[in-house]
Amino acid sequence: MLDRRTLLKLAAATQMFGMFGGASALAAPPAGLRYGDAGPFSYDALKNRARTMAAGPYASPPRPDPAIVESIDYDAHGKLKYKPDYALYGDGQPGAYPVTFQHVGRFFPKTVKMHAVDPAAGTAREIMYDPQYFTVGPDSPAAKLAPEPSAFAGFWIQEAKDKGDWKTEEPWVAFLGASYFRAKGELGQVGLSARGITITPGSGGPEEFPDFIGYWFEPANSDADAVTVYALLDGPSLTGAYRFLMRRTAGVVMDVETTLFLRQPVERLGVAPLTSMFWYSETVKKTAIDWRPEVHDSDGLAMWTGSGEHIWRPLNNPARIVVSSFSDQSPKGFGLLQRDRNFDHYQDGVRYHLRPSAWVEPLSDWGKGQVQLVELPTDDEIHDNIVAYWHPEAPTKAGDELPFAYRIHWLADEPYPTDLARVVATRLGRGGQPGQPRPEGVRKFMVEFLGGPLADLPFGAKPEPVFWASRGTFSAYTLMEAVPDDVPGHWRVQFDLAVDGDDPVEMRLFLKVGDQVASETWLFQYRPFVSDARPVGN
């Protein structure tokens, strides 16, 4: 997993954080940028190139002098600011959204080639690296780099030129490192990331991280139009051609189209992966682990199944790597969400309560497979330790061509929230009753629901909880009550679960009113306590 704190610091230090031959001219090229020769470009041509590459052996992307790049540490990298005057589609140029670039360094050592597309002519030209684009001081290690290969590592899409001073505003999209990218949510923050693809994450062995090795930019005519970016992915197991249509809305909406070309079989292919950080929450927190009540970029995995069920699975920080699979057919969507928006629950100046949620909406029928959730142990907030993605059921083989289309919504909430009551809190405690000896192997759960049909219950009516656990015994005593905060439709259910041993327990709970389902489904993976003194897995 990437060190997310390093990525965020590098972004903050920089305002936020030649494929074809031929001859043609790019319309109104930016003054000062240097270009290679122009040649034909199309998405079909990009797919053909990815197909051809997949038929041959893998070659790692070129890297500038590794010793010099290694010496471009955090401080040196922070001084390599891209000069706005060299922005692609900057002031005085066509295109509503300027594009700026990021320099290679210790944490992002691989080269990425950048290209400008002239859609009217059907051509593209490589943007040639020049150190004058950056504030490279005479004492900077970057001054020692040769002109080739390119020292570009990523890019940013800046705010629209007609919406204030784009040179001082934080970018709304960033692509940097392997196939990682992120966007600003509607609450004005960045947080979790997405990836082009993930290959066998959480397997315990080295994870493969394919790289975007080239980008092609097509300008948006106005701030209401989509910015189009094409990308070429390459890794030991596969290649891929991508087309991103990115719109600046209240947050950001990205339409992603890709065809993957496999060099070899992939045991666990992760499509539309999302990556986030979860250290601890109100659900499980070790005593005095940190002064803040909660620390996370996302607090749960939400799913909308092909059958129409809405599911909420709170995240865990386990003691070992855990991979959970949720079988489905033709899913309607899934996402890593930040539901808790109360600052008092975080008390952190980095504003975790404003982190965006990201929702993946398939734009084609994905058939049978699983939404998989990988949870890795962490003892700090600097690591992205959560991955969620779609894993197709069909096995893969060399020579496969796999098309996918989906939309990523970077918002404050799900784009299509359920009309049912939603889970708003999960809390764990010692089982048993106050004033009585606490029984061994018994855990108390408190799950809160809010809204939907619960807000319209007649006086004296109560919802009914429906429980299931893969093992163990629920206590006869269950408390179903309205939360005493005068918020309509805010209810909580309290129950005990007794289990033997330390094997994980899969749990399921929803509420109904009469014969009607009244809430989304709460799922939880509980890793029992062997004793109250020694927690296992939490």
Question: Mean pLDDT, to the nearest integer, of 160-171?
Answer: 91
Distance CA 374, CA 201 (A): 7
Question: Mean pLDDT, to the nearest integer, of 426-441?
Answer: 86
Residue 529 has what pLDDT?
61
Does residue 471 belong to any structural domain of this protein?
yes
Q: pLDDT by residue (tens digit) across 335-350?
A: 999 999 999 999 999 9
Kindly write down the DSSP assignment for every residue of 310-375, as one continuous string. Answer: EEEEE----SS-EEEEEEEES--EEEEE-----GGGT--TT-GGGPPEEEEEESS---EEEEEEEE
Question: Mean pLDDT, to the nearest integer, of 201-208?
Answer: 84
The percentage of residues in the chain with a pLDDT greater than 70, rounded to a whole number, is 92
Contacts of 275 (CB under 8 A, 6+ apart): 1, 2, 180, 192, 193, 194, 195, 384, 386, 387
pLDDT band, residue 533 (cuts 50/70/90): very low
| CB neighbours of residue 368 within 10 Å | 13
Residue 15 has what pLDDT?
37
Residues in the chain: 538
For 39, the 3-state DSSP assignment is: strand
Does residue 409 belong to any structural domain of this protein?
no
Contact 296, 413 (CB under 8 A): no
Contact 296, 277 (CB under 8 A): yes
Give, in degrees to the nearest 5, the angle at Cα 337 between 254 and 515: 115
Q: pLDDT by residue (tens digit) across 474-496?
A: 987 789 999 999 999 999 999 99
Does residue 179 belong to any structural domain of this protein?
no
Instruction: Look up residue 71 and give its DSSP letter.
Output: H
Distances (CA, A) of 499 to 212, 432, 471: 47, 13, 7
- Per the listing, tokens 């051809």 go with 52
Residue 434 has what pLDDT?
81
Distance CA 126, CA 37 (A): 7
Nearest to 312 by CA among 365, 363, 254, 357: 357
* Cα within 13 Å of Cα(101), Cβ side: 32
Does residue 464 belong to any structural domain of this protein?
yes
- Which strand (E) or helix (H) includes residue 477? strand 473-482
Does residue 536 belong to any structural domain of this protein?
no
436 vs 194 pLDDT, higher one: 194
Mean pLDDT of the chain: 90
Distance CA 464, CA 519 (A): 10
Whether pLDDT at 175 is above 50: yes
Contacts of 179 (CB under 8 A, 6+ apart): 195, 196, 197, 209, 210, 211, 212, 231, 233
Question: Mean pLDDT, to the nearest integer, of 385-392?
Answer: 98
Contacts of 310 (CB under 8 A, 6+ apart): 302, 303, 304, 418, 420, 520, 521
Task: Give the domain extent around 487.
Answer: 422-526
Question: Mean pLDDT, to the nearest integer, of 73-101?
Answer: 93
Contact 335, 278 (CB under 8 A): no
Position 40: which residue type?
Answer: P
Question: Mean pLDDT, to the nearest integer, of 344-359?
Answer: 95
What distance, in Å, lies between the first and last C-alpha atoms of the chain?
20
**b/e code 278-306 from CB counts within 10 Å (16+ = b):** bbbbebbbeeeeeeebbbbbbbbbbbbbe
Kindly write down the DSSP assignment for every residue of 407-419, as one continuous string. Answer: EEEEESS-SS--S
Nearest to 328 by CA among 523, 537, 527: 523
- Per the listing, tokens 């049978």 go with 368
Does residue 52 belong to any structural domain of this protein?
no
Residue 149 preceded by cis peptide, ω within 30: yes
Distance CA 234, CA 197 (A): 10
Q: pLDDT by residue (tens digit) across 392-429?
A: 999 999 999 999 999 999 999 999 999 999 999 999 98
Does residue 309 belong to any structural domain of this protein?
no
HEC assignment per residue over 161-213: CCCCCCCCCCCCEEEECCCEEEECCCCCCCCCEEECEEECCCCCCCCECCEEE
Distance CA 210, CA 195 (A): 10
pLDDT band, residue 31 (cuts 50/70/90): low
CATH of the domain at 520: 2.60.40.10
HEC assignment per residue over 44-68: HHHHHHHHHHHCCCCCCCCCCCHHH
Nearest to 169 by CA among 97, 115, 217: 97
Question: Mean pLDDT, to the nearest integer, of 271-289?
Answer: 89
The percentage of residues in the chain with a pLDDT greater than 90, rounded to a whole number, is 80
Contacts of 55 (CB under 8 A, 6+ apart): none
Does residue 360 belong to any structural domain of this protein?
no
Contact 442, 432 (CB under 8 A): yes
Contacts of 145 (CB under 8 A, 6+ apart): 64, 65, 68, 69, 131, 151
- Per the listing, tokens 């780099």 go with 145
For 291, the 3-state DSSP assignment is: coil
What is the number of structural domains in the chain? 1
